Structure 1
């Protein structure tokens, strides 16, 4: 393993949705910095692959399956990590879905409820159990995955936009509630990132993909590793005075 830039040795980090994309990149980054990583995903194949990648690189990790749409599954996840390692120092609540593309008048109740449950209710439940454990162990740091869609509107994905706006509001509220408990809570707001979600969103349409590239002032879409770097920093002691913040990493998208 390369030299460590952050002091995560002996730290326990939980990453949900770490079977691919931003979650996988973040789990790998934490492990590279010396953390023991609790890899979690509904997709067991992807989660196990992430765990194996960490182990092959000399890191430490264990995979825990979790369906964040199921409250009991989230509770079990945190309890399993506590039983295995005794604590959680940092958590990246990343699991999420984009849902169906439809205007507000055409968005189904089923789609609305599914997206809100996975993207917003799960963040509340993850924090509910993570914070309870952190309180027993003297503090910690949490980063929730929001989006630039939590800051501006995107026609055609109303449930996703509402869920991500909710994540930012919930993050700020948690930060205020637990600031005196040595628990910092922040959010990261990715722009267009090269992940399976973007592949599904563009549906293999090269023209749609190129339009996303053109819409990003920096002239390219982002890499999962660039979001991972932001999350690792937010959870580190280098960001010890940062809480309640929604960090935007979007290549300039919302500055337009």
Structure 2
């Protein structure tokens, strides 16, 4: 990605890290293909991109459906001719519970979006990037991808899987001009983390251990977006298969 006029696809673009990254990438001259399951928030992100002087398109998609993923990738190529960078970011948070209390439905929901969604995004975007001979992919994992988080067994498993996919893709495509890295946020002020107090209130279940925010605050999504912009650009040209922790010391 040469920053100016680069084409970047972002999933989970409707909120949090996805939205903040769309805005920051657009401010750096990128054209954005914003993908989200939620049409309303996705279109709001597109408006914010345009307000910041950027341009892009919005595509409504369920990242766990192969045909939806094929569609957003096809629309990106039809609209802009290529994909320079891909923020494979859409994810959902598990309801807190002990492992033996996780329902099969809840397990499937988490794995579908967080693992299958990331896999399908990789599968289809890699095909495009392989033809081009270049590209940078950033997968959103989590600190729960490098250690367990209490009461989040399925979520932790899903994010460990994202790291496995990241390393595998990085290894397989390293000679094809494609870089694949992952970011591990830990405690970011997003709609995903904002749902936590409500979830605890609704279920009455409180995890034995709550993550320790050593900086005494959550990250602002824009702080993660800075890392995304760096990994999407040529400034990170020698990085692939890197698992970059951006967690304010959470995992120390």
CA contact (8 A) 2:62 2:69 kept: yes
CA contact (8 A) 2:33 2:76 kept: yes
Matches within 5 A, 1:1-256: 7-203=2-198, 215-255=212-252
Partner of 1:3: none
Deviation of 1:252 after TM superposition, in Å, equals 0.3
Deviation of 1:57 after TM superposition, in Å, equals 1.6
TM value normalised by structure 2:
0.94
CA distance in 2, matches of 1:99, 1:254: 20
CA displacement, residues 48-69 of structure 1 (integer Å, 9 cap, x when unaligned): 0110111122111111111112
Deviation of 1:99 after TM superposition, in Å, equals 2.3
CA contact (8 A) 1:135 1:181 kept: yes
Unaligned runs of 5+ in 2: none
Deviation of 1:212 after TM superposition, in Å, equals 5.9
Query: 1:136 and 1:119, CA in 2 relative to 1: closer, same or farther beyond 3 A?
Result: same
Q: CA RMSD in A?
A: 1.7
The number of residue pairs the alignment matches comes to: 246
CA contact (8 A) 2:95 2:199 kept: no
Deviation of 1:10 after TM superposition, in Å, equals 2.0
CA contact (8 A) 2:150 2:210 kept: no
CA displacement, residues 152-173 of structure 1 (integer Å, 9 cap, x when unaligned): 1112111100000000011001
- Helix, strand or coil at the partner of 2:251: helix
Unaligned runs of 5+ in 1: 1-5
CA distance in 2, matches of 1:102, 1:205: 10
CA displacement, residues 187-210 of structure 1 (integer Å, 9 cap, x when unaligned): 00001000111111121879x8xx
CA displacement, residues 136-183 of structure 1 (integer Å, 9 cap, x when unaligned): 112100000000000111121111000000000110010000000000
